[in-house]
Amino acid sequence: MESIEELMLKYQRIGTRDRAKWLETIDQKIPPSFKERIKNDDKSVLRELILPDWVTWDLLRSWSLEGTEGELCALCENNSANFVLYKNTVICNKCLTELKTLEIKDAKPMNPQDYT
Ligand SMILES: [Zn+2]
């Protein structure tokens, strides 16, 4: 699931600035009481809110969960709801993926030439 921030950057990149703008102000567009219901997976809010047609339930869920149950990532210092405890340190999934990539690189067998 993409974070709101990632989506915002994506929309800016592909030139759909109205979407980026909408996401930027999502906190003003959807009242906190609705946010709470979205967090609780209450899809009836979709009937009560007037939303652009590109706004998906996943997007709303990801927004409602962002920064609420989240923890501050020790590496990138972003607040993320998708975090894990890694060696007793809170890190977000994004950093975890990066860490794993690094570890795989490190774990690569050495070049035979390095042994000589
Ligand atoms: Zn992080």
Is the CB of residue 86 less than 8 Å from the CB of residue 99? yes
- Residue in this structure with the two tokens 């998708």, named with its chain if needed: 82
Separation of CA 77 and ligand 1 centre (Å): 6
Q: What's the pLDDT at 1? A: 58
The tens digit of pLDDT for each residue in 63-99 reads 887 755 567 788 888 877 677 777 778 888 888 888 8
Q: What's the pLDDT at 112? A: 60
Q: What's the pLDDT at 51? A: 94
| Tokens found for residue 40 | 């609780």
Separation of CA 66 and ligand 1 centre (Å): 13
Question: Does the model's pTM come out above 0.75?
Answer: no
- The structural domains of the chain, with segments of one domain joined by +, span 4-66, 72-115
